[in-house]
Homo-oligomer: A and B are copies of this chain.
Amino acid sequence: MGAYTLSHDEKNRISVDIYGQSYSIVGRESTSHIRLVASMVDDKMREINTINPSLDTAKLAVLTAVNAVHDYLKLKEELEELENELKRLKG
């Protein structure tokens, strides 16, 4: 089992289970943050599996990544709108 870096400034190494596989995650984030991320990925994979039970694990995981990146971009748009509003308010 290899170790995978969540960020460059290494600190914590914790083991998490995602969809029946063990992953060793290395990063400066807290253990609880890493566990939350892992459980969100696990949940999403199970959710997509319920909708498409014929998909293999690789495809499930790719579609989970697609969903996560989609959510990320939507949130980024929201953030940019707020930043602009804040700029206007601050003059």
Chain A residues at the B interface, C-beta cutoff of 8 Å? 2, 4-6, 18-19, 21, 23, 25, 29, 33, 36-38, 40-41, 44-45, 48, 51-52, 54-59, 61-73, 75-76, 78-79, 82-83, 85-86, 89-90
Contacts and interface: CB of A to CB of B under 8 A. Distances in A.
A23 B73 contact: no
Counted per complex, copies of this chain come to: 2
State the main secondary structure of chain A at its contact with B: helix
A37 B58 contact: no
Contacts of A2: 52, 54-55
Nearest to A16: B66
Contacts of A90: 89
Contact of A61 (B65, B85, B86): B65
